[in-house]
A and B are shown apart, each in its own frame.
Chain A
Amino acid sequence: QKEVEQDPGPLSVPEGAIVSLNCTYSNSAFQYFMWYRQYSRKGPELLMYTYSSGNKEDGRFTAQVDKSSKYISLFIRDSQPSDSATYLCAMSATLGSARQLTFGSGTQLTVLP
């Protein structure tokens, strides 16, 4: 079983829709949760970073963490064609002075104009 499971998609939505992206994890040691966006032929770009359970909002993006259920979500409001990309969840535990990220497999999102 993978440590991080991510809904594979692909996901296609009309412009202006609300998008929900999700990941579940099995390792209860994970404490840091991130969402990265990756455009084609580019490296992952950090979108959101959370530490505790609850919601964190940044513009049109809201990250939600539920540690009791080992479930994280990213919501995108008023989606735009420029949001079309692959979205990766990533998480890490505190391991002394090292912090390797464990990624989900990514969800490919297309926002249609």
Chain B
Amino acid sequence: EAGVTQFPSHSVIEKGQTVTLRCDPISGHDNLYWYRRVMGKEIKFLLHFVKESKQDESGMPNNRFLAERTGGTYSTLKVQPAELEDSGVYFCASSQEVRETQYFGPGTRLLVL
């Protein structure tokens, strides 16, 4: 069974540009989560999808971040425009049921210059 995959693995962009991160959850997992870890800090929750619906987006830092999950399969997280403080590692996780284990992807390392 394939795990959670994320693309790209690394992204280097300039301040003000747009970046789109993609997450493919484990097949059949309705729950999809985005987290991020900025330099020197702990991993922080961003949002949670159940199928294509946003269940909890309380961790989204501001309106420069837009997450979508069309069709309840893969998800994208767009940052527009990117700021220096957005640099960090963005993780995606998925679970079959909300109370079950969250399986994490390898992360996308974002550097905003």
Give A contacts to B, CB under 8 Å.
2, 4, 6, 32, 36, 41-46, 49, 88, 90, 94-95, 97-106
Residues of A within 8 A of B99 (CB): 32, 94, 99
Shortest Cβ gap from B105 to chain A (Å): 5
Give B contacts to A, CB under 8 Å.
4, 33, 35, 41-45, 48, 50, 55-56, 58-59, 91, 93, 98-99, 101-107
Complex: chain B residue closest to A98, CB-CB: B56
- Give the number of residue pairs across the A-B interface with Cβ within 8 Å: 58
* CB contact under 8 A between A101 and B45, given known A41-B106, A43-B106, A46-B103: yes
Complex: chain A residue closest to B95, CB-CB: A99
Residues of B within 8 A of A43 (CB): 4, 91, 93, 104-107
Measured between alpha carbons, how far is A98 from B45 in the docked complex, in Å?
12
Residues of B within 8 A of A41 (CB): 106
* CB contact under 8 A between A44 and B91, given known A4-B42, A95-B56, A98-B55: yes
Complex: chain B residue closest to A39, CB-CB: B106
Residues of B within 8 A of A99 (CB): 48, 98-99
Contact of A97 among B42, B55, B102 (CB under 8 A): B55
Shortest Cβ gap from A88 to chain B (Å): 7
Measured between alpha carbons, how far is A49 from B58 in the docked complex, in Å?
24
Contact of B98 among A4, A90, A97, A106 (CB under 8 A): A97
Shortest Cβ gap from A42 to chain B (Å): 6
Measured between alpha carbons, how far is A95 from B15 in the docked complex, in Å?
36
A102 close to B45 (CB less than 8 A): yes
Complex: chain A residue closest to B56, CB-CB: A98
Measured between alpha carbons, how far is A36 from B45 in the docked complex, in Å?
15
For the complex of A and B, 7 pairs with smallest distance between CB atoms: A43-B104, A100-B45, A98-B56, A103-B43, A105-B42, A43-B106, A44-B104
Complex: chain B residue closest to A100, CB-CB: B45
Complex: chain A residue closest to B102, CB-CB: A101
B42 close to A104 (CB less than 8 A): yes
